[in-house]
Amino acid sequence: MILTLTANPSHDRTVTLLEPLHHGAVQRAASVTSQAGGKGVNISRASVAAGVPTLAVLPAPEDDPFVHELLAAGVDCRPVRQDGALRVNITISDPEGTTTKLNSPGPQMTEATRAAIADSLVRRAQPGDWVVLAGSLPPGAPVDWYADLVVALAGSGAKVAVDTSDDPLHALVGRLHDGAPRLMKPNGHELASLTGEDGDTLEKDPVAAARAGTQLLERGVECVLITLGGNGAVLLRADGAWYAAPPPTTVVSTVGAGDSSLFGYLLGDIQGRTPDECLALAVAYGSAAAGLPGTTIPHPAQVDPTRVEVTSLDLTQGDRS
């Protein structure tokens, strides 16, 4: 079972342009699509496609079109009552594969809603399940709410994965002494914001990214999956470090690629694959997502981990072995 929390869900609208985006210009769109989205929701969609049981917990009115869309797509959705319209996020995608995102803040979250969400997660989390806490936090949520949830879930026996950024990420890392998630999935720039290094350097240098990520291992995180955009991903565990180079991909939209990568790793873990196989599946999922329009989540038939090259990293020498 994969239990997901999308703390700040959104109606994701993707505008596909016929030519590159020009600031201040009037341009025609080739298409406009809309989809119920958010990091946790994306992972639940991928779970449904792969036949993995999933529950999606999120703050929303039960009769919201967002909820109805997920249910119609086969996603078992457990909304927690919250007042206010869900936010709308806009992605502008051009023919070169460049994406521009405009994300709105979302409705105010009350203390009662936060308590109900925490109760929903703790009641449903079972030993061996993965619980994914993903995305930004809405207005009204304390910056260390994910850290609170990690602590609250500690006695459930479930494995917790966190994928977030900015202040919530920093707050989580600042409280790893209270409780660490099983898995964290920063990208190169998010990791650099924690270590003070240059994000562009980490995105291009897997060894540098791996060395930076060991700081999270040393503070109690068991597994660190560092996505490096078009340069693949790095996996760190106590028993080793690996780098996976992506297969050749014609990029259509990078939106949701990181979510797909995280799901690929979780799927590999659920299937009992070795760490390098889990990493190959993660990169294969992310690459497949990048080749699809908008926030389309790949079906397993579109994912081929055999095209992903995985190598071990020797962090003592700074070379791949």
Query: Tell me: the pLDDT tens digits for 124-182?
Result: 999 999 999 999 999 999 999 999 999 999 999 999 999 999 999 999 999 999 999 99
220 assigned to some structural domain: yes
Q: What percent of the chain has pLDDT over 90?
A: 78
- So what's the pLDDT on residue 317? 67
170 falls within a domain: no
Rounded to the nearest integer, the mean pLDDT of the chain is 93
Listed residue (224, 227, 250) closest to 238, CA to CA: 224
Instruction: Quote the pLDDT of residue 320.
Output: 43
From the list 230, 181, 228, 189, the residue with the least C-alpha distance to 207 is 228
* Average of per-residue pLDDT across 268-272: 98
CATH number for the domain harbouring residue 149: 3.40.1190.20
pLDDT of residue 180: 97
Residue 53, domain extent: 1-22+29-161
Half-sphere exposure (CA, 13 Å, Cβ side) for 156? 25
Do 317 and 226 have their domain in common? yes
For residues 153 and 186, membership in a common domain is answered with no
Cα angle 14, 20, 26 (rounded to 5 degrees) comes to 80
The reply to whether 265 falls in a domain is yes
Residues 61 and 4 in one domain: yes
Claim to verify: residue 97 and residue 192 sit in the same structural domain: no
Q: Tokens at residue 178, please?
A: 């209270």
Do 186 and 285 share a structural domain?
Answer: yes
156 and 191 in a common domain:
no
Chosen domain end from 100, 126, 161: 161
Amino acid at position 81, single letter: R
In this prediction the pTM is 0.91
CB 111 within 8 A of CB 145: no
**Taking the mean position of all CA atoms in its chain, how far away is CA 49?**
17
The catalytic residue positions are 259
Residue 226 lies in a domain: yes
Verify that 8 and 148 share a domain, yes or no: yes
Tell me: pLDDT of 33 over 90: no
Specify which residues 16 forms β-bridges with: 31, 93
More confident residue, 253 or 191: 191
Question: Collapsing DSSP states into helix, strand and coil, what is residue 319?
Answer: strand
Spatial distance between the Cα atoms of 207 and 213, rounded to a whole number of angstroms: 10
Confidence (pLDDT) at 321? 41
Question: Pseudo-torsion of CA 290, 41, 275, 277, nearest 10°?
Answer: -50
Reading the block at residue 13, the tokens are 């609208």
Q: How many C-alpha atoms does 73 have within 13 Å on its Cβ side?
A: 24
CA atoms within 13 Å, Cβ hemisphere of 138 = 26
- Domain co-membership, 151 together with 191: no
Residues 140 and 52 in one domain: yes
Write phi, then psi, for 87 (nearest 5 degrees).
Answer: -75, 165
Quick check: is 304 in a domain?
A: yes
Inter-residue contact 116 to 271 (CB < 8 Å): no
Residue 278 contacts residue 207 (beta carbons within 8 Å): no
Query: Residues 113, 186: one domain?
Result: no
Longest CA–CA span in the chain (Å) reads 57
Structural domain count of the chain: 2
| Distance from chain centroid for Cα 187 | 10
Asked if residues 289 and 267 have their Cβ atoms less than 8 Å apart, the reply is no
Q: State pLDDT tens for residues 76-112.
A: 999 999 888 889 999 898 887 788 889 889 899 999 9
176 inside domain = no
